[in-house]
Amino acid sequence: MPVYSEKVMDHFQHPRNVGEITDADGIGELGNPTCGDIMKIYIKVKDNKIEDVKFKTFGCGAAVATSSMVTELVKGKTLEEAEKISNAAVAEALDGLPPVKMHCSNLAADALHLAIEDYKSVKAGKGHIAKVETCDHEHEGLDELEHA
């Protein structure tokens, strides 16, 4: 069974910014068919800054923790700063993740990037982009017990 840092456990047990923004400016939804994690991130943008951010996640504790941390990392940041958030930055902010759970940080960062992409598409008058995407990150070492 993976060993999690205190920060991962805190964000899993007390996730920040959970919920939905009904009038979101951008929505990014990402699912992973291999492990079953699904993340949806909503952003509200004002003056090129992420004024509010919320998430809904169906998945393991690491998926919830990484989603929560992403929202904490980007609130108040410019879109350009938010676009630079990487899976490594998410994992580092949580004091690390077990190797078998690193894909969760990819999902959280990628869902954020999709929300920003969606916002830019709407702002450009092109409408919302496809809301659900499937990631294809590698999941070496995942097995039924790891995700139960």
Positions marked catalytic = 35, 104
HEC string for the chain? CCCCCHHHHHHHHCCCCECCCCCCCEEEEEECCCCCCEEEEEEEEECCEEEEEEEEEECCHHHHHHHHHHHHHHCCCEHHHHHCCCHHHHHHHCCCCCHHHHHHHHHHHHHHHHHHHHHHHHHCCCCCCCCEEECCCCCCCCCHHHHC
